[in-house]
Chain A
Amino acid sequence: MPAAPAAGIRTKGRIQRMHSVLGDRKSVAILLGPALLVYSLVMLLPMLWSLGYTFFTGSVISGFTWAGTANFSKLLDDPALPGALWFTVKYAVVITVGQVLVGYLLSLLYVFFLRRAGSIVRTLVFFPVILPTVAVALLFQKFFEFAPQTGPVNAAIEAFGGTGIDWFSTPGNAFFVVALMDIWRSMGFYAVLLYAGLLDIPDEVMEAASIDGASTWRLIRSIIVPLSLPVLVSSLVFSINGTLKAFDSIYALTGGGPGSATTPLTLYMYQTSFAYGDYGYGSTIALTLTALCLLVTVFIFRGTRRDTGLG
């Protein structure tokens, strides 16, 4: 680069040279270009395109016809929408709280009871995290099965004198199994994530408090929880981001049933688009979901800024 000789002082010249090299436009284009191109073409462009679909009706097979704002008035009148919206929110809140809470309790168990010797336990509890969702869903389906095979859960209920429950026939029970499954398969992840956060708390702080006579409960409440708040918040953000968009586990476990009792927006959109071939209305539901995600994200970022005192 020709910038160097111009400066009289040598170091100044070097700094200029460095900046001009690290700011080289061609290098930026080579390194960033491919990723940005793929991302723009396959995610950003389709997103805008999807917005365009909300003004049409039809599908790629049947062809599209202009619908104006019909999809949006349909959205407001749709009797199935409030149920799907409510289930999405209910699911996201319950699963997020469940995952992070159970994960946090496990991480406390790791740190205070198992200590560094708990590697085997951590490894085992983590295993379901990486299992395919569909495999876990099918496993739970059979595990909670009522008939023709009596699954272990119902077998246990019967062994204790109760009568078996057809878990997937009522909305409440179906939701319970979905929630249980999602917490079962993700608790190990949040446990490890939060465990890492707890390990960052200096031992001296805990020792000092413990010497000062703080009880275990008090230690948790006054030192551990506040000090692990940032990583707790990260976990919540990560969890809610995933649970709002949950599709796989529900689709594979209950298929949205019984009826449409466990149908979140993600699944409703999928059914509308591919079972009924209405891309226009499907896009409108997808837009509703995106708006919901956006709203929650903005809300969380505001909240966390205040909590961690960064903003």
Chain B
Amino acid sequence: MTLTTEPTTPAPAVTKRRPARNRNVGRTLRRLPGHALVGLLLLVVAYPLIWLFLGSFKTQDEFLNKPTTSLPESFTNFANYTQAWSSVATYLQNSLLTVLPSLALIIVLGTAAGFALEVLVWKGRQTTLMLFLAGIMIPGQMILLPLFTVYFQLHLTGTLWPLIITYTATGLPLTVFMMATYFRAIPKTVFEAATMDGASVIRSFWSIGFPMMRNSVLTIALVQFFFLWNDLLIALTFTTDDAQRTVQVGLLNFTGQFGVVEYGPTFAAICINVLLILAIYIFLNQRVMRGLAAGAVKG
């Protein structure tokens, strides 16, 4: 990548040693390559997305006959969006209907299991934790075929249940493992005190453990949300017809839907998905970042 020249830029360490009076000018000059680098970085990150957004307003003719970097002729041409929305709306609905229930189940079951594995004292909890840990490693391909067989024979194919069930199960290992790690950080005396005051285990989980984990729960919920929302393999395997397609599967089939690639609607469909995530990100970005900074993924 273009960023390999980067280690030479940390200039502040150098400036720090110079108690010069006119440091401002020198400082600005010395920081110039760094600024250029940051500018380039932002360009690399943002340009494809901006190009996508511009493209979503272009007509087929503009795509084929105008330079690709040109601006669209009209920013009020929403024909692409209306055409894309007619099918994307269903895909979004399916995604929400599968991801949200799975997410709720993952969080509740996973946190409870993490609590039982870390706070409670019983024989075999280490082994059970390792058992869950093994699930992080198992590739999805290893469970697809038997699950397909079962869902097929239970006549669940053609509904969203296979996705909800499979998502819940695949989300559990990481959640259980991370929750156990987070519970480990809470001093045991907290729960011991609750117990001495006569709280039952279930109560000290719901009233003390779970609320104390609020931030961790949100972190994990966000991480899992994007995992599930991004999933293609499971959704592709268990959705047999258009009515059950999630956003990812739908989007993939979108290009082929018109025979010849219709650029405008395709760009608009991609753009709808990007804008949706952007909307979530605008409100939650600090939490996403803070969550990750707090050590979301401890390998």
Binding site for B on A (CB under 8 A): 14, 17-19, 21-25, 27-28, 30-32, 34-36, 38-39, 41-47, 49-50, 53, 60, 98, 102, 105-106, 108-109, 111-115, 121-135, 138-140, 142-143, 148-152, 155, 183-184, 188-189, 192-193, 195-196, 199, 206, 210-211, 213, 216-217, 219-220, 233-238, 241, 244-245, 247-248, 251-252, 265-266, 269-270, 273-274, 279, 282-283, 285-287, 289-290, 293-294, 297
Q: Pick 14 A–B contacts, CB within 8 A, sort by A.
A: A24-B201, A32-B117, A38-B105, A38-B109, A39-B173, A43-B170, A43-B172, A127-B281, A132-B251, A134-B247, A148-B261, A266-B233, A273-B145, A290-B137
Binding site for A on B (CB under 8 A): 1, 3-4, 6-14, 16-17, 31, 34, 37-38, 41-42, 44-49, 51-52, 55, 63-64, 67-69, 105, 109-110, 112-113, 115-117, 119-122, 128, 131-132, 135-150, 152-153, 165-166, 168-170, 172-173, 176, 191-192, 195-196, 200-202, 205, 226, 229-233, 236-237, 247-248, 251-252, 255, 261, 263, 266-267, 270, 273-274, 277-278, 280-281, 285-286, 288-289, 292-299
* C-alpha gap A290/B189 in the complex (Å): 41
Verify A155–B152 contact, CB threshold 8 A: no
Q: Distance in Å from the Cβ of B181 to the closest Cβ of chain A?
A: 12
Residue among A25, A47, A113, A235 facing the most chain B CB atoms (10 A cut-off): A113
Verify A32–B113 contact, CB threshold 8 A: yes
Residues from chain B with Cβ under 8 Å of A216 in the complex:
7-8, 10-11, 13-14
Interface of A, helix, strand, loop or mixed by DSSP = helix
Verify B48–A38 contact, CB threshold 8 A: no
* C-alpha gap A148/B12 in the complex (Å): 49
Residues from chain B with Cβ under 8 Å of A241 in the complex:
136-137, 299
Q: Distance in Å from the Cβ of B178 to the closest Cβ of chain A?
A: 12
Residues from chain B with Cβ under 8 Å of A142 in the complex:
52, 55, 263, 266-267
Q: Distance in Å from the Cβ of B194 to the closest Cβ of chain A?
A: 9
Output the nearest chain B residue to A193 by Cβ-Cβ distance.
B292
Output the nearest chain A residue to B31 by Cβ-Cβ distance.
A113
* C-alpha gap A27/B170 in the complex (Å): 24
* C-alpha gap A296/B248 in the complex (Å): 29
* C-alpha gap A199/B192 in the complex (Å): 33
Residues from chain A with Cβ under 8 Å of B252 in the complex:
134, 138, 251-252
Residues from chain B with Cβ under 8 Å of A49 in the complex:
146
